[in-house]
Chain A
Amino acid sequence: MSISPAMRYRPFVILLSVIILNVFTHSLASAADNLVSGKYVSSSGTDIVLNLTIQNPAPANLIVEQYLSPENIIIDTAPQAKKIDAAQGNIKWLFKNTRNGILSLTLRLENPLTGDISAIVRYRAPQDGAFTELRIAP
């Protein structure tokens, strides 16, 4: 019995379709997971700049916490931080009613940064309220 070329390649076509669909849905899911991403634009010197990119749908509220060595003296923050714990080297922001786009956070230090710096962004996913934590390092 002869098999037509269309029948012969049918399983491969189905398999390929399933793979493409899987990759597509996975990429969509990943995009939904990464509603917020962050990058240190400047992580040395006296001005430390962290840029957060917020995707749509934007989380309604965001908490950003930055950690640096306590020996660094913080002169100013922009936007103004909710809490600065100089003894622990911990700065905390609370952003309400956030919109999609880029959110820039600047730390001005008295002297060039010594030691490491890192940040944690926390938010609840707008779709299901799932608490998400994102760690950022230079």
Chain B
Amino acid sequence: MTDNSIPGPMSMVKVDGSKIKHLREEQGLTQLYLATAVHVTTDTISRWENKRYPSIKKENGLKLAEALNVPLEALMEEDEVVEPSPIPPATILDPPKPPTGSTQSRIKKIWPLLILTLTLFCVVVLFAWYSLYSSPELTITAERNAPEHCIAGQPFPVMIRITGAPEDKPTAIIIRENLPANATVVKISPEVAAGGMKRDMIKWLKKIHEAATFAYVIRVTGGEGDKVGFYGTAAISGESGLPPPIGGSSITNIGQFHWADGDKDNIISDSEILAVHDRYNEIEGIDVDIDTIEEIWLGSGYKWNQTTKSFEILE
């Protein structure tokens, strides 16, 4: 007789259904008795009996044989072909293992963890996106444009340009510009609110869109070679911390040259008059004495007369 069992943890044997039925009936046993003895259901016993060569676990086969008081071989068909022949364990070269019960349960345990990890990842990504694009930190840039030089007693403009404010909503800006001790304010644009103008400081509180220009015209006293220093801060209203200082030019030298004569050659050139117009044309309420500047530009030069305190235009 051949060994019909399959070695390994799941050994199977092929039994003859008709033999089982015959032996049971011969001994006057019921299917319920066999089912109870083998620890299976009566349906299983019925299925084994009615199939010609059912393949059952060897363990069940042994219990069944014991219940029928016969050796296991007595239940088997002699020439039956059993389950695929076993491969000796030594010849198996790392075969792919099908998911066993324990692996499946492990996967079942991992799934919630995977879902949780993915959800957390999505939350982090969304938060990062929101932080970067939805509520960017608002920063403004403030730059002062003061001439490099001026003549004592002659008015000259100082301009503060604010950029970087949002375009779509108004932003309240506070500008505090400390005036030099020897300065007298001639004009301010835009006008400041009540209390915004002090002897030594101009304070603007304005709502702006995207960019804005604040300017003033002053006269200073002093002698040739003296320096006029500027300092101020610009910040968004309600922001905590020290307001950042206004960048750009911070010193104007007192001398003998018109403030619009950038290269101090006693001529107001085309590029110099274009710069004056480009910078100050749009600022309402700021009079930079453009008529005098144009007269100098149309002439061949100028000379500052210290005695008469006026410009002599050369034809």
Contacts and interface: CB of A to CB of B under 8 A. Distances in A.
Interface of A: 60-61, 63, 82-83, 92, 94, 96-97, 122-124, 129, 131
A124 B281 contact: no
B278 A94 contact: no
Given A61-B281, A82-B298, 9 more contacts: A60-B278, A63-B270, A92-B298, A96-B277, A96-B281, A97-B281, A122-B274, A124-B275, A131-B271
A92 B299 CA distance: 12
Contacts of A131: 271, 274
Interface of B: 270-271, 273-275, 277-278, 281-282, 294, 298
A60 B281 contact: yes
A33 B305 CA distance: 42
A123 B281 CA distance: 15
B274 A83 contact: no
A41 to B, nearest CB: 24
Contacts of A83: 298
Contacts of A129: 275, 278
19 contacts: A60-B282, A61-B277, A61-B278, A61-B281, A63-B273, A82-B294, A82-B298, A92-B298, A94-B277, A94-B294, A96-B281, A97-B281, A122-B271, A122-B274, A123-B274, A124-B274, A124-B278, A129-B275, A131-B271
The main secondary structure of chain A at its interface with chain B is strand
A53 B274 CA distance: 19
Contacts of B273: 63, 94
Nearest to A129: B278
B298 A63 contact: no
B177 to A, nearest CB: 23
Contacts of A97: 281
Contacts of A92: 298
A124 B298 contact: no
Contacts of B270: 63, 122
B176 to A, nearest CB: 27
B217 to A, nearest CB: 20
A117 to B, nearest CB: 19
**Residue among A83, A94, A123 having the largest count of chain B Cβ atoms under 10 Å:** A94
Contacts of B298: 82-83, 92
